Amino acid sequence: MIHIQDRLLLEPQLSHFRALAMHRCVVLLLLVHCCGGQPQVIGQPIVAMVGDDIILPCYLETAVDATVLTVEWARPDLEPRFVLLRRDGVLIQHEDNPLYVGRKSLSTNKLKRGDISMTLSEVKLSDAGTYRCFVPESGTESFVELIVGSVSSPEIDIYKASNGFLLECKCNGWYPEPEVLWLDAEGNLLSAGPTETVRGPDDLYTVSSRVTVEKRHSNSFTCRVQQKNTNQTRETHISLSADLFKAQSSSAIRISICLAVCIVAVVAVVVALWKWGQNKKTTDPSTELQLLMEGDEDRQKPRTEREKIVFLDKTKVKLEEDLQNNEGELQHVQQVITTLMDQKKDLKNQREKLTSQQQENKTKIEEYKKKKTPKTDKDNKMRKREITLHNLEKRENEHKELLQNTEKLLESTEEMINKMTERKGKLERDKEKLNKLLKETEREREEIEKKLQSEQSEREEEINHPMMTA
């Protein structure tokens, strides 16, 4: 603590000193007079997420060297209470709580400036609490509250309902317990059912909420999961196509992002197969060229070297056109294969989720069937249980139907991938043939051109030197 004499030297104005002294007294009284003997927390709480590295602040009143001073960081609610203990410039680790082994430290450079803040690495949920920083030699004492949270992004599942769609938002791995909100495209709150909350053995919360939506202007919805104490928010947005609301199917099927990809892929495959069918009506490029070059000699084979060059030029143009078409279709087929492979992956993921949901549903059905109904209000309880069982069995049938459809679509996708792969192989072989024929055509034309140039040179030589030729 700073002595009065020092303050008079530093601040000669007596009135200013008295104001400061009064302020110090008030702060000291607040620290001593704590409710129920609890430590007084100074400053705003420190908020950290699981896995973060954070700094718990603490400073000497004057910036003096604290490297040789005793520094205590403790949690009064723990036993042993010390988180970090430093005496005579050495960490006394055998007195520290084992929960913090290897995760706390002080900066030597900061200690020299009177900064005794503690760094805590890889924060855990169990680290939440009030920490006491104490330096006996100077009487410095302060308390810091640490709030630890855990977050994850929510997922949205869609089910067909009689009057629209049922959106289910689920999010796990949160701490402290969050709240779930549903918003429309304009940011207005939607009326949703009660949030279901489950706390796991790891103390993390799993929350889920359902809302039924009808056709709206934008058909865009947001599930927001938030925790006010940690000031954490995570959102997931989803847009429903207007065509979905026009569907006449009465079964409550689960819609996933994968289905949109499937539609795009199927359209692409239909176009590719149509192109393939159109191409199969024409003759193979190499066979067509071979027929052209080996046809009737009187009608096809040129009689002069000049006519051969004209014929080879036309052949080259035809080969280049076929090669360009081949490369375009090859690129298109590759895009279709890539889309189908992505669709196959999404379908497999959907199949796994459906299988998991189906097993979860079966477990709930078995639990409800084994559940005993108390004698009091038995009829009412029985009716509620029958309704719940009916809904669970209905959902089980829907999952079973969708799983079968997913299997069929997966099988069709694999079949189309095989067909497109075969088509790709044929196109690559045709491309190789076309390149080979194109090179042969160019080589033959060059040979004829050289021959003509040689003959032309000989004729010019005869004209210019007739006597030498004779």
187 & 165 share domain: yes
Cα–Cα distance between 420 and 52 in angstroms, integer?
Answer: 48
Task: Provide, rounded to the nearest whole percent, the portion of the chain with pLDDT above 70.
Answer: 71
The pLDDT, as a whole number, for residue 248 is: 33
Model confidence pLDDT, tens digit, residues 10-67: 444 434 434 433 433 333 333 333 333 334 445 688 999 999 999 999 999 888 999 9
Last residue of a domain, one of 110, 125, 148: 148
Model confidence pLDDT, tens digit, residues 450-468: 888 888 888 877 787 765 5
Q: How many domains does the chain have?
A: 4
Q: Does residue 61 belong to any structural domain of this protein?
A: yes
330 & 452 share domain: yes
CA distances from 434 to 284, 287, 295, 307, 421 (A): 10, 10, 19, 23, 20
CATH code, 198: 2.60.40.10
Do residues 192 and 209 lie in contact, with contact meaning Cβ atoms separated by under 8 Å?
Answer: yes
Tokens of 109: 């450079």
Last residue of a domain, one of 217, 239, 255: 255
284 & 220 share domain: no
Q: What is the mean pLDDT of residues 212-240?
A: 86
Q: Does residue 380 belong to any structural domain of this protein?
A: yes
Highest average pLDDT, of 21-30, 308-317, 376-385, comes from 308-317
Q: Does residue 196 belong to any structural domain of this protein?
A: yes
**What are the φ and ψ backbone dihedral angles of 391, each rounded to 5 degrees?**
-65, -40
Residue 336 burial (CB count, 10 A): 24
Q: Domain containing 230: what range? A: 155-255
232 & 246 share domain: yes
Model confidence pLDDT, tens digit, residues 164-176: 788 999 999 999 9
94 & 178 share domain: no
Q: Does residue 293 belong to any structural domain of this protein?
A: yes
Q: Does residue 467 belong to any structural domain of this protein?
A: no
Q: Supply the angle between the helices 378-464 and 257-280 in degrees, to the nearest 10.
A: 40
CA distances from 296 to 120, 239, 293, 347, 444 (A): 90, 65, 9, 56, 20
Last residue of a domain, one of 195, 224, 255: 255
The pLDDT, as a whole number, for residue 412 is: 85
Cα–Cα distance between 463 and 111 in angstroms, integer?
Answer: 106
Is residue 155 pLDDT above 90, yes or no? yes
The pLDDT, as a whole number, for residue 35 is: 32
> What is the DSSP annotation of 231-278?
TEEEEEEEE--HHHHT----S-PEE-HHHHHHHHHHHHHHHHHHHHHH
The pLDDT, as a whole number, for residue 299 is: 44
310 & 416 share domain: yes
Q: Does residue 420 belong to any structural domain of this protein?
A: yes
80 & 131 share domain: yes
The pLDDT, as a whole number, for residue 457 is: 83
CA distances from 451 to 163, 313, 446 (A): 83, 16, 9
Is residue 407 pLDDT above 60, yes or no? yes
Model confidence pLDDT, tens digit, residues 344-361: 888 888 888 888 877 887
402 & 268 share domain: yes
Which positions ≥6 away from 242 have C-beta within 8 Å?
A: 215, 219
297 & 401 share domain: yes
278 & 357 share domain: yes
- Residue 380 pLDDT level (bands cut at 50, 70, 90): low
Tokens of 83: 């988180």
CA distances from 266 to 57, 257, 270, 307 (A): 60, 15, 6, 49
Q: Does residue 244 belong to any structural domain of this protein?
A: yes
The pLDDT, as a whole number, for residue 284 is: 56
More confident residue, 398 or 93: 93
312 & 457 share domain: yes
Containing 87, the helix (H) or strand (E) segment is: strand 82-87
Q: Does residue 448 belong to any structural domain of this protein?
A: yes
CATH code, 337: 1.10.287
Classify the C-alpha dihedral 70-71-77-83 as positive or negative.
Answer: negative
The pLDDT, as a whole number, for residue 27 is: 35
200 & 139 share domain: no
Model confidence pLDDT, tens digit, residues 246-279: 543 333 344 444 454 455 455 555 555 555 555 5
Task: Provide, rounded to the nearest whole percent, the portion of the chain with pLDDT above 90.
Answer: 29
